Amino acid sequence: MSPKPVEPEITPHATVGLFDSGLGGLSVLRAMQTHLPQAHLLYVADSGFAPYGERDEPFIVDRSLHISQFLLSQGAQALVVACNTATAAAVKELRAAFPQVPIVGVEPGVKPAVAQSRNQRVGVMATPGTLKSEKFRQLVSSHAQGAELVLQACPGLAREIERGELDTPALRALVHEFCEPLRAAQVDTVVLGCTHYPFVRPLIAQALGPDVLILDTADAVARHAASRLARVPRLSSAHQAPPGGLQLWSSGDAAHL
């Protein structure tokens, strides 16, 4: 009789660390809570150093290594880089620094957007850092498939969202400014390539009009993280964190978080 393949042990109770430059990664955290309700989640908002989108890559790599080290010291068994800008700048360095740890990153959903666009004109809203990264260039060359991509850098938008008020005149003006070129280019699908932007999705939807499909990747990332956790070894019950728990840290104002 041939031996049965060994099924990886599913670890719904794993402790997972997430981080972002600030509040944006909470959009990913929310999806993680849906897909992994039993996991214990640790979240770091690097609000004291936000936004990342207008910083240089070595700075983001340093912050990402430092925060990841902290999350691992708090018991994280897997990491989710809940930030497109940090993923583009630092995920390679994080994987090299922590080769045993499953690390899931976030990147703009160019592939699903191209698949769903009817007129093959797709807008991508993201930070300047994400759009000029080598990782994003590779993403486009693998997945644009001949579609026309209209890249819209949104400097200042994450910073404004970070203030926590989600419908101010300043925010509306910024959203309008960044959506106008996308409307003019007649894109029918827009990718939210920054984890802060889902928090102003209603404003973006209003500025783009009812015929434009808006996509973000929080859900896909959470599902991917759940499947990666299947490979995380189960801890003995003495070391398991309470299921469904959540701990939050901020390098800025913790009360704000």
Q: Annotated catalytic sites, by residue?
A: 83, 194
- Tell me the closest approach of the beta carbon of residue 151 to ligand DGL, in angstroms: 14
Q: Can you list the pairs that 95-98 forms with residues at least 24 positions away whose Cβ atoms lie under 8 Å?
A: 97/65, 97/68, 98/68, 98/72
- Extract the tokens encoding 34: 């849906």
Residue with tokens 């240089």: 56
Tell me the closest approach of the beta carbon of residue 132 to ligand DGL, in angstroms: 12
Per-residue CA distances from 234 to 22, 38, 39, 73, 76 (Å): 30, 13, 12, 18, 12
CB closest to ligand DGL, residue no: 53
Which residue lies nearer to ligand DGL by CB, 13 or 129? 129
Cβ-based nearer residue to ligand DGL, 14 or 86: 86
Nearest distance from C-beta of residue 133 to ligand DGL, angstroms: 10
Burial class (CB in 10 A: 0-12, 13-18, 19+), 237: exposed
Q: For residues 24 and 123, which CB has a smaller minimum distance to ligand DGL in the complex?
A: 24
Binding residues for ligand DGL, per CB under 6 A? 20-21, 24, 50-53, 83-85, 127, 130, 158, 194-196
Q: Are 190 and 213 in contact (CB under 8 A)?
A: yes
